[in-house]
């Protein structure tokens, strides 16, 4: 079996080489072949030099692609254009792949001949000490997603039937190539754009597959390890992340269905925003105050994106 692994990168020269080498260091049976497709999304750091050195070390196992249109979805689509293998996997430019990652994927395909869509286990590597204001085991559990913390246990199962989410995260998902080709490209209005946070390009892509009748299988034997970077353990970063998440969710769905609206915005969002604003003001300090601030930013993103949509539709809501 041939396997292509797509890694999109933007200004992560310091982490990229280790990620690529961990993938290429995966255990493979003699009858299998592995290639890594690295898509440089217009980086302006030392990424080009790092990729040149990797090409010299792995001349037949690494393909470098340059995508100058900014945005991860553009990079993902460029990678798909170059994918030729029966099995196509996606991961990030800062992970460490388990030595059995690729073998776990191949075995999953062989065990499930009627399934084309899979996700592996993702283990978040947290620093020893977390900020006191962070409540990941309580009210802020939704923030695990920003840290790519998607561990769903050690039992293979169908997504949505015991897993955290209905679809895998883009850091560890893999597909039969013919199924990918039928699904079309990643939406370029979703996902990160250079340094600007963005989301939902992977979940929207997977949801389209589900809408086509495909099932997703969670495969714990295919594991990657994802470090939690210190810059993400920052209130400002997390607030921006929540705001961008709110906008992306509305953009992905094209708005929140038919419900009473004000200026094109579902009226209940104003009520939700007011509730979190009141909660923020009432909680003088600590985790509870930050929780309401996070949800307020998310709601603000939802409201703003609805306003943008309404303006784009001529205010017809």
Q: What is the pLDDT, as a whole number, of residue 196?
A: 80
Half-sphere exposure of 11 (CA within 13 A, CB side): 9
pLDDT tens column, 248-259: 999 998 999 888
What is the residue extent of each domain of the chain? 2-232, 235-312
* Residue the block writes with tokens 């255990």: 27
Taking phi over 0 as left and psi of -120 to 50 as alpha, with beta for the rest, 40 belongs to beta
Say yes or no to pLDDT of 194 above 90.
Answer: no
Contact yes or no for 204/73 (Cβ under 8 A): no
Architecture field, domain 2-232: Alpha-Beta Complex (3.90)
Does residue 316 register a pLDDT over 70?
no
- Predicted pLDDT of residue 315: 38
Distance from C-alpha of 244 to C-alpha of 249, rounded to nearest angstrom: 9
Provide the 8-state DSSP code for 185: P
Q: How many residues are recorded in the chain?
A: 317
Which pLDDT score is estimated for 162? 87
Any idea what DSSP says for residue 87? E
Average pLDDT, the chain: 93
**How confident is residue 313, by pLDDT bands cut at 50, 70 and 90?**
low
Q: Confidence class of residue 317 from pLDDT cuts 50, 70 and 90?
A: very low
The CA-atom distances, in angstroms, between 143 and each of 22, 43, 48, 149, 237 are 27, 28, 33, 9, 11
Between the alpha carbon of residue 162 and those of residues 19, 141, 159, 173, 218, the distances in Å are 29, 17, 7, 17, 10
Task: Collect all residues with Cβ–Cβ distance below 8 Å to 298 and sequence separation of at least 6.
Answer: 242, 243, 245, 246
Q: Where are the beta strands (DSSP E) in the chain?
A: 2-9, 33-40, 62-66, 87-91, 96-97, 117-125, 157-158, 173-176, 216-227, 261-262, 265-266
Model confidence at 305, pLDDT cuts 50, 70, 90, reads very high
Q: What is the C-alpha separation between 112 and 107, in angstroms, rounded?
A: 9
Q: State mean pLDDT over 210-224.
A: 96
Q: Which residues make beta-bridge pairs with 124?
A: 226
Query: What are the tens digits of pLDDT across the range 119-157?
Result: 999 999 999 899 999 999 999 999 998 888 888 899 999
Measured distance CA(160)–CA(146) in Å, rounded: 20
Residue 268 has a pLDDT of 95
21/150 Cα distance (integer angstroms): 23
- At which residue do the structure tokens 């396997």 appear? 3
pLDDT of residue 289 exceeding 90, the answer is yes
Considering the chain, what percentage of its residues have pLDDT values greater than 90?
83
Classify the C-alpha dihedral 221-201-183-164 as positive or negative. Answer: positive
> Residue-wise over 148-164: b if at least 16 C-beta within 10 A, else e?
bbbebeeebeebeeebb
Three-state DSSP at 8 gives strand
pLDDT digits (tens, 9 = 90+) for 181-191: 999 999 999 98
Over the stretch 229-249, which tens digit does the pLDDT of each residue have? 888 999 999 999 999 999 999
């Amino acid at each position: 079996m041939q396997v292509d692994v797509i890694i999109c990168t933007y200004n992560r020269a310091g982490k990229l080489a280790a990620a690529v080498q961990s993938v290429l260091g995966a255990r493979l049976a003699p009858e299998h072949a592995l290639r890594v497709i690295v898509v440089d999304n217009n980086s302006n750091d030392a990424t080009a030099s790092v990729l040149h050195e990797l090409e010299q070390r792995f001349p037949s196992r690494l393909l470098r692609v340059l995508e100058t249109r900014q945005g991860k979805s553009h990079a993902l689509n460029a990678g798909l254009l170059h994918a030729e293998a029966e099995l196509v996997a996606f991961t990030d430019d800062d992970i460490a792949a388990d030595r059995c990652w690729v073998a776990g994927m191949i075995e999953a395909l062989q065990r499930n001949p009627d399934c084309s869509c899979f996700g592996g286990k993702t283990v978040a590597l947290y620093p020893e000490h977390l900020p006191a204001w962070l409540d990941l085991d309580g009210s802020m559990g939704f923030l695990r997603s920003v840290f790519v913390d998607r561990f769903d246990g050690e039992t293979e199962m169908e997504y949505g039937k015991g897993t955290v989410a209905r679809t895998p995260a883009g850091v560890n998902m893999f597909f039969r190539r013919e199924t990918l080709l039928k699904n079309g490209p990643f939406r370029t209005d979703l996902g990160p754009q250079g340094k600007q946070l963005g989301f939902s390009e992977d979940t929207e892509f997977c949801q389209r597959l589900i809408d086509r009748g495909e099932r997703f299988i969670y495969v714990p034997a295919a594991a990657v390890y994802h470090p939690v970077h210190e810059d993400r353990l920052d209130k400002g970063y997390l607030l921006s992340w929540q705001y961008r998440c709110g906008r992306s969710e509305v953009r992905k769905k094209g708005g929140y269905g038919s419900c009473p609206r004000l200026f094109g915005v579902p009226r209940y969002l104003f009520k939700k925003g007011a509730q979190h604003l009141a909660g923020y003001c009432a909680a003088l300090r600590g985790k509870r105050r930050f929780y309401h601030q996070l949800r307020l930013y998310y709601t603000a993103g939802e409201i703003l994106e609805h306003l943008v949509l309404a303006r784009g539709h001529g205010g017809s809501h």
